[in-house]
A and B are shown apart, each in its own frame.
Chain A
Amino acid sequence: MQKLPVSTGTIVVWALLLSAPFWVNYTGGYTELCTRIVVLGLAAMSLNFLLGYTGVLSFGHAAYFGLGAYGTAMTMKYLVESTPAALVVGVLVGTIAAAVIGPLITRLRGVYFAMCTIAFGQVFYFIAFQWRDVTGGDDGLSAWHREPLHFGFATIDILSNNKAFYYFVLVFFALAVAAMAFILRSPFGRTLLAIRENERRARFLGIPVDRHIWMSWVISCGFVSLAGALYALLNDFVDPRALRWDQSGTFVIMAVLGGMRSFWGPLVGAAIFIVLQDYISSHTENWMSFVGLIFVVVVLFFPRGVLGIVRRKLMS
């Protein structure tokens, strides 16, 4: 069983995250790219809560990511122009949807579970795609933007100041990640690991496996909808592609690429994936082939992921 974050790894990750806006420009990147990495890294880590730590194969997380994004965007556009309120609505929408759909699928396992999560994910894609009047259909939901944060004593301009928005996102990232780490260390988290390692045995020990998987599913989807909400704020825009099944696949490949048996793996995977994607799409129109190639190469040659390989090297 692996150790949860304490190590030098965690310190390195946080040092890099906190200082990123100050050195990223020298490496040819930009602050917005960092924000993307943190947001999608959070999505991949949330997915990994289910995938890596509960051992349940979800291929439909984009649905809850997208619901978070749409919830936030629609609140901003139609209800109140308040960033915190929109975030709360986004997270609630995603989490409640997951909680309702959960009981239908948490009885299933393996590929069957994966297939049903994909299929249910597509429901929301179709709704967003076809309900033009409300969701903007294929064109997405635009003509709104995130609002600066007003505290009684100060205003933080997260709208036009990229660095401020980066740290705004990082705060939520920190809270979510800390919560996940805390849950994974708790007896509940240990139970999830037990289910991953040997479901039948966990069942014999009297653990209500389906209910635990449902809880893990809801927690995971809740965090992923937070990531989606932040994603909508990042782009000041949301379109149905955020809900589509290829987005789900992207989260999974991020987790695998970084190493799904390690806590920070998915973040590392997200960073590598996004930087590669950014680089490739600015150089060729056929970025889809290259993204596909990343999938194939990772599966065939790096199934343990970057951190998995690093850990192995350190052990030997």
Chain B
Amino acid sequence: MSQLLLFNVFNGLIIGAFYALMALGLSLIMNLSGVINFAHGGFVAIGAYLAYTISPYVGFWGALLISPILTAGIGLIVERILIRPLYGRDPLYSLLLTFGLAFIIEDATRVIWGAQGLQYQIPNWLQRPLSSQLFFLTGYRVFMVVMVAVIVAGLFFILTYTRLGLRIRAGTLDLETVSVLGVNVRVLRNLNFGLGIYLAGLAGVLAAGMLGLQPTIGDSLIMPSFISIIIGGLGSLPGTLLGGLLIGVASGITTVFLPQASEAVIYVMMAAVLLVRPRGLFGEEGRF
């Protein structure tokens, strides 16, 4: 029993790390640009499939490095061409645009890579369980948690100590003032979007190793990511991170006791948070 619980808590932590990785990207984009990126799940799929395509040439580690960067590149182009014209208009339009984009990306991945699931190769030594007692603790799972931790630490480092991060945070609070102070807001939003998409691409590569590849790979992750943001509080990145981990672990624990409700529990949590604290755990008051 205790091992089952441990297994599911750990599993929930991994899933939660995924949610958090996706939700952080969504959150970055939403905070600075006010755009809910529905196509985020699509970018996860792009990251995963690009890794699949290039890994025979550059290997697992090369793909892990390059694929998210390529995905971010696509993100930069998409932002430049499609999303930029919509800033300053009713948020409805950017929502609808990314919505349509999600359809297009899903269909495109299906056309390019086929509708069937594909296997993604990970190095052998990562597949092995670390110990015979804790059979579920494969190297890859541990590796993923470490990887997410490193990336998140890197993200917060960038946001706290680099000029770009400083501008992103400032822009989140007051974009107009940042613009008046001589920062090119267009470039800032573009880079910020790319950064968010980079995280999506990375989540895709990591997910591919665990779940395999499907055109709808991002679909099951996007709703929980929204909920991570809602629970954590809009406008707060640490909140988003916590929200993701929280719902992951909660659904892991629920799996032990009431497997049917593992999906439902995160929605219950969201309802509870909205009831008691509509702005989310770490959200600023009056922001929305």
**Residues of A with Cβ closer than 8 Å to B?**
51, 57, 59, 104-105, 107-116, 118-120, 122-123, 126-127, 130, 245-246, 249, 252-253, 256, 286, 288-289, 291-296, 298-300, 303
Contact = CB atoms under 8 A, between A and B. Distances in A.
Contacts of B28: none
15 contacts: A57-B91, A57-B95, A108-B274, A108-B288, A109-B288, A110-B288, A114-B36, A116-B274, A130-B260, A245-B223, A246-B103, A253-B99, A292-B103, A295-B103, A303-B93
B102 to A, nearest CB: 7
A209 to B, nearest CB: 15
A125 to B, nearest CB: 9
Given A119-B227, A299-B86, A292 B104 contact: yes
B278 A296 contact: no
A289 B260 contact: no
Contact of B96 (A105, A122, A286, A298): A298
A112 B107 contact: no
A104 B271 contact: yes
B264 A127 contact: yes
B229 A293 contact: no
Interface size class of B (residues with CB under 8 A): 35 or more
A249 B99 contact: yes
B246 interface: no
B217 interface: no
Nearest to B271: A104
B226 interface: yes
Contact of A288 (B86, B89, B107): B107
A288 B111 CA distance: 11
Given A110-B288, A119-B226, A295 B264 contact: no
A54 to B, nearest CB: 13
Nearest to B222: A245
B134 interface: no
B76 to A, nearest CB: 18
Contacts of A249: 38, 96, 99
B234 interface: yes
Interface in B21-40: 30, 34, 36, 38
